[in-house]
Structure 1
Amino acid sequence: MSLHARRRRAAVQWPTLGWLTVVWVLLWGEVSVGNVLAGLLVALAVSVATPLPPIAAGGRVRPVACARLVGRFAVDVVVASFQVGVQAFRPRPPQSAVIGVRLRSSSDLYLTLTAELCSLVPGSVVVEAHRLTGTLYLHVLDVDGPEGIEAARRRVLEQEERVLRAFASDAQLAAAGLGAPRPSAPVTPEVHA
């Protein structure tokens, strides 16, 4: 690695250094010159010892699709929280399963976003993400036979589609087999006489 590449990497790390320093100060619970300096030193040591690889997103942010992603995620969290709460009072233990879901996109960024959103919804947790094949393995609660397993797989793929439609480029959407972004204009219904 050349000296210029190292300088470029160090320049990219400034937001990480700042964020780690803020976390350090919050953990200590007191803003002081000593805490800020110590946090900066710890952040620098962590960043040098374990540098993060660059992530090439190559996508674009679509505000309407982002709002759709966030809104649906909020609904999923509320509904799943209620369902898990009901499970706690059932006399029989819920049937659970570990399922594998092969995602459409090969991007590490979209795999990670999909995995995080799926894990944050109660009743499912990602137990492994295989980045070479783009497969997520999830432990899901309350699956009733093959239909329940397929429904859980479908929910993961729908979550991935919302992530891709919110952040992927047109080329990435086409590569994932999703075509162009959904039109934002309302569709007029057909009238049959």
Structure 2
Amino acid sequence: MTPAEPTEPPNPPLSRTARRRNRIVAMTFLVIVWVLLWGTFSWANVISGLVVAAILLAVFPLPPVTFAGRVHPWGALRFLLRFLRDLVVASVQIAWLALRPRHIPRSAIIAVKLRVNSDLNLTLTAEALSLVPGSLILEADRNTGTLFIHVINVDSLAEVEKFRHEVLALEARIIAAIGSPEELRQVRAGSTPPPPVDLEGATT
């Protein structure tokens, strides 16, 4: 009987360079979220975002998130342009709902299983969804890579499926912007079965 070959631990410790790179990536995205929340790009917002991000990473240290890919400029530009478009369209739709006092929109809680199960992809997809008016992340399951999202103004199962496909399309744009070749293959080849849907106010 031949001795078993040594196997590499599933989560090898990160090198100092990898930890520094992950902190830079985390701080960069925290600053981007900070500027987007203020709605104005200025040096004051960027500097204050750096200060807030540094405090958050120091006071509330996150588990190490491995960044296995690299930044793809064309994919990043496509993601940014589509995100800004979705932000404007969703803001107009929510404003229109507010101007219709007699219309009571229905809501849904939708579970979407992402094709790339990584902490970074789960976090970035959840952040991008939360910044767009009309959707709110209720829970994120790290074990299965599933997001549970509360969505407003959903009136049919067809609209539920449409939103699910939009979330997966958003994930694909994020992976196209910063994903590794393996993650890109997972997105292209992955398929997700439809999850159970809970429509608020629906009869059983």
**TM-score under structure 1 normalisation?**
0.68
Q: Which residue of 99, 103, 115 corresponds with 1:104?
A: 115
Q: After TM superposition, where is structure 1 displaced by more than 4 Å over at least 4 residues in a row? A: 13-17
Cα contact 1:105–1:172 (8 A) shared by 2: yes
Tell me, in whole angstroms, the C-alpha distance in 2 between the residues paired with 1:104 and 1:81.
Answer: 28
Identity %: 43
Q: Highest relative contact order (Cα 8 Å, sep 6+), 1 or 2?
A: 2
The correspondence of residues 162-181 of structure 1 with structure 2, limited to 5 A, is 162-178=173-189
Deviations 1:116-167 (A, max 9, x none): 0011111111111111010001000111210111111111111001001111
Do the aligned partners of residues 43 and 161 (structure 1) sit closer, same or farther apart at CA in structure 2, a change above 3 Å counting?
closer
Q: Which amino acid aligns with 1:146?
A: L
Cα contact 1:69–1:162 (8 A) shared by 2: yes
Q: Which residue of 160, 164, 168 corresponds with 1:149?
A: 160
Structure 1 equivalent of residue 105 of structure 2: 94
Structure 2 equivalent of residue 122 of structure 1: 133
RMSD: 3.2
Unaligned runs of 5+ in 2: 1-12, 35-50, 191-204
The correspondence of residues 1-193 of structure 1 with structure 2, limited to 5 A, is 8=16, 12=20, 43=55, 47=58, 50-90=60-100, 91-178=102-189
Q: State how many pairs are aligned.
A: 151
Tell me, in whole angstroms, the C-alpha distance in 2 between the residues paired with 1:61 and 1:105.
Answer: 17
Partner SS, residue 67 of structure 2: coil
1:174 Cα offset (Å)? 1.2
Unaligned runs of 5+ in 1: 24-38, 180-193
Do the aligned partners of residues 43 and 151 (structure 1) sit closer, same or farther apart at CA in structure 2, a change above 3 Å counting?
closer
The structure whose Rg is larger is: 1
**TM-score under structure 2 normalisation?**
0.65
